[in-house]
Amino acid sequence: MNTKILIVEDEFIVANTLRLAVAKAGYSVAGIVASVEEAEEYLQNQKPDLALLDIRLEGQSSGIDLARKLKDENIPFIYLSANSSQKVLEEAKATEPYGFLVKPFREKDLLITLDIALYRHRHSLESKFRQEEFLKKQLIEIGIETSDAKEKLLKITRLLQPYIPFDLILWGPRLHDEAHFNDSAYLRIGFDEYQFIGEKELITITGLNNEVLYEAIKNSRIDDDALIFSDGISKQKPADPSLQHILFNFFDLQEYLVFPVALPNGSSVRFFFYSRQRSVYTEKHFAILNRLKIHLTAIAEKMIGYETAPMGQSGSFGKDNSDAAKHSAFRNIIGNHPLLLAALDLTIQVAPYNTSVLILGESGTGKEKIAEHIHALSQRAQGPFVKVNCAAIPATLMESDLFGHEKGAFTGALEKRKGRFEQADGGAIFLDEIGELPLDMQVKLLRVLQEKEILYVGGNSPIKLNVRIIAATNRNLEKEVAAGNFRLDLYYRLNVFPITLPSLRERKTDIEALALFFANRFCREFNKPFTGIAPSMMEKMCVYGWPGNIRELENIIEQSVILNDGSAKLELRRSLSMASPDVPGNMAIKNLGDVKLIQQETERAYIISILKKANGRIRGTNGAAELLNIKPTTLEAKMAKLNIKKDDL
């Protein structure tokens, strides 16, 4: 092993302990420095494979300051700190470290964290290399195709979306003295749906006449250098608006990245990536574009060569984008909010690899659906997909349920039994509500992740497994780590590739589409006509805070359909008066009791409606149990739990 470790630590005893431990494990100690300044001087001459980095150091700069430089130079680093407070964890997380050790730490914990960090870095490099090789290959194929400029841009748009997020992409050879809109653009309107925008379409959308548009083009920034621009473009309409002002206002944009490409004939074209979110673009996006520049140049030259008419007019630019269909994998996911689309882009990126994935989001945001799609799009799609709700398994049975047990391992173990991990061998296991795992089970799960093997309860021989881990939680795991409820090493092992799903209140523009989808589905299911949703109901739903997210919306629509006779539009059947959570990122724990009560009320109303349909009969043909497709004893238990009596029928 010739892995070089740089130790950045100002406490001599700790630094020496680290030196002895890593050397004993076979690593090479590249150097020991006590300050950021010493570390920067060292980095000018040498590049370590990994850095162990204390947060509090000698001098004015902290380890977090040095971490930003290490990140820019693609050097993995692990934080060392005596302080694991929430504030420190949040600051550390922003620099995307490969691990975090809390002082004092055991030698075993140090070596495990080193192994995880090097594994993550190696695989991230391999993944990045494979992705960029794929991109280059696809760009070469686009370049040699005989399709027109419009079709080429659409293919580039679809290809780059997961790697450089945007809501509007614009391409054009516009010059400083340009008087016409000869650019071509695609506006993202769904996961894999894009609307073409040329001069004609832009005039139609904005309602501007040619003269105003051409004047705006003359007032536009023509950037000759690659840059990220978000400041200085006011949403208030100025006396002499630029093209950027027009685009920002009509498409609700917040930021753009421009990337010029010089052509061999001395001219140049510019690729503009516009986003509806701020602080989206970083240096890594420029780095990707620079590595693809030679291929983008070749395509741009071809696109200019094919251009025989303005991009917005009819001519040699092919058919419109009306046949752009959604990605088949996401046909059952409703919505096109940028935050949702960003999560789907990440899903597409990570699906082909064996990387562990951590899905974050409030209850009811669709974490299980995303996990299913990751598996369906992976190379393991033909293998098993085993779901485990960690919050639903009693602590005494959890180890046996996950890892299996031998016959006679404990009272009641009458036969040998496979656990969920072994059932998922060759496929994937979805650990939902991972934040609910007890600490002793977290230790055992960490061992499975590191050793890729399990041990039956009562067994002696470990069993090797090939399982992909997909975990999900509605908890803030950083807070759980700070509170001592979740192991830091397990958090970093799971958090290799996080995907955060937005709450429904963060994507309110999708509420109408979701409501119509559920309403149609339940009307078909209950054999009722669907005549629409009353405007008053839609208005109330759009201003509501949705602490229960999509699951709560689904329950409310189901209740409305059940209680609607089909002769009028759906009306709201209960008050939506619950306040929204105070902070957008809050998991709304204070409202979970109310959400459960709402769900119980909906279930109670549903069961009562079925009992009425069955004339109060529970058992037998056309009885309520048969209509609900559950056992009569189960229905009776539900009725007792929900306090449903004969007087309610």
Q: What is the pLDDT of residue 635?
A: 81
DSSP 410: S
Q: What is the pLDDT of residue 322?
A: 29
Q: What is the pLDDT of residue 640?
A: 81
Quote the CA–CA distance of 26 and 111 in Å, as a whole number: 10
Angle at 164 between CA 159 and CA 167, to 5 degrees: 90
Share of the chain above pLDDT 70, in %: 86
Lowest-confidence segment of 66-70, 220-224, 379-383, 466-470 by average pLDDT: 220-224
In 60-202, DSSP assigns E strands to: 77-81, 100-102, 168-172, 184-190, 193-197
In 396-479, DSSP assigns E strands to: 428-432, 453-454, 463-464, 468-473
Three-class secondary structure of residue 197 per DSSP: strand
Handedness of CA 524, 530, 536, 539 (dihedral sign): positive
If you search the block for the tokens 């890594």, which residue do you land on?
A: 284
Containing 225, the helix (H) or strand (E) segment is none
CA-atom Rg of the chain in angstroms: 29
Max Cα-Cα span within the chain: 86
Which position has the higher pLDDT, 218 or 183?
A: 183
Rounded to an integer, the average pLDDT of 98-127 is 79
Task: Tell me whether the CATH fold assigned to 4-126 matches the one assigned to 330-500.
Answer: yes
Please say if the pLDDT value at position 560 is more than 70. yes
CATH of region 330-500: 3.40.50.300
Quote the CA–CA distance of 179 and 572 in Å, as a whole number: 53
Quote the CA–CA distance of 314 and 280 in Å, as a whole number: 34
Question: Does 2.60.120.960 match the CATH number of domain 505-613?
Answer: no
Query: Where residue 467 falls among pLDDT bands split at 50, 70, 90?
Result: very high
If you search the block for the tokens 């407070």, which residue do you land on?
A: 85
Quote the CA–CA distance of 283 and 72 in Å, as a whole number: 9
Q: What is the pLDDT of residue 302?
A: 77
What are 111's two structure tokens? 């070596």
DSSP 436: G
Which position has the higher pLDDT, 266 or 459?
A: 459
Which residue, 121, 164, 195, is CA-closest to 345?
Answer: 164
Give the model confidence (pLDDT) of 149-202 as tens digits: 888 889 999 989 888 889 999 988 755 455 566 788 999 988 888 999 888 888
Task: Give how far Cα 414 sits from Cα of 208, 403, 406, 457, 590, Å.
Answer: 78, 16, 9, 13, 43
DSSP 412: T
Give the model confidence (pLDDT) of 7-39 as tens digits: 999 888 889 999 999 999 999 999 999 999 999
Query: Where residue 546 falls among pLDDT bands split at 50, 70, 90?
Result: very high
Q: What is the pLDDT of residue 240?
A: 64
Give the model confidence (pLDDT) of 129-145 as tens digits: 667 778 888 888 888 88
Query: Where residue 503 falls among pLDDT bands split at 50, 70, 90?
Result: very high
If you search the block for the tokens 């970083």, which residue do you land on?
A: 282
CATH class given for the domain over 145-325: alpha beta
Quote the CA–CA distance of 125 and 127 in Å, as a whole number: 5
Which position has the higher pLDDT, 130 or 48?
A: 48
Please say if the pLDDT value at position 51 is more than 90. yes
Quote the CA–CA distance of 101 and 99 in Å, as a whole number: 7
Query: Where residue 233 falls among pLDDT bands split at 50, 70, 90?
Result: low
Quote the CA–CA distance of 541 and 248 in Å, as a whole number: 28
> What residues contact 435, with CB distance under 8 A and at least 6 apart?
473, 474, 475, 477, 480, 485, 486
Give the model confidence (pLDDT) of 320-358 as tens digits: 332 323 455 676 788 888 889 888 988 988 888 888 899
Domain borders along the chain are 4-126, 145-325, 330-500, 505-613
CATH of region 4-126: 3.40.50.2300
Lowest-confidence segment of 95-104, 206-215, 452-461 by average pLDDT: 206-215
Q: What is the pLDDT of residue 175?
A: 56
Three-class secondary structure of residue 14 per DSSP: helix
Contact between 635 and 618 under an 8 Å Cβ cutoff? The reply is: yes
DSSP string, 152-186: HHHHHHHHHTTTS--SEEEEE---TT--S---EEE
Three-class secondary structure of residue 355 per DSSP: coil
Q: What is the pLDDT of residue 200?
A: 84
Give the model confidence (pLDDT) of 398-427 as tens digits: 899 999 988 888 877 788 889 999 999 999
Q: What is the pLDDT of residue 473?
A: 95
Lowest-confidence segment of 94-98, 312-316, 332-336, 440-444 by average pLDDT: 312-316
Q: What is the pLDDT of residue 520?
A: 92
Which residue, 219, 210, 214, is CA-closest to 240?
Answer: 219
What are 110's two structure tokens? 């140090």
What are 340's two structure tokens? 């949702």
Instruction: Tell me the whole-structure pTM to 2 decimals.
Output: 0.63
Q: In the chain, what is the straight-line distance between the N-terminal and C-terminal CA atoms, in Å?
A: 75
Give the model confidence (pLDDT) of 619-649 as tens digits: 888 788 877 767 788 788 788 878 888 777 7
Mean pLDDT for the chain overall: 82
Which residue, 471, 446, 460, 485, is CA-closest to 108?
Answer: 446
What are 320's two structure tokens? 């419109």
Quote the CA–CA distance of 550 and 300 in Å, as a whole number: 43
Quote the CA–CA distance of 383 and 375 in Å, as a whole number: 9
Share of the chain above pLDDT 90, in %: 27
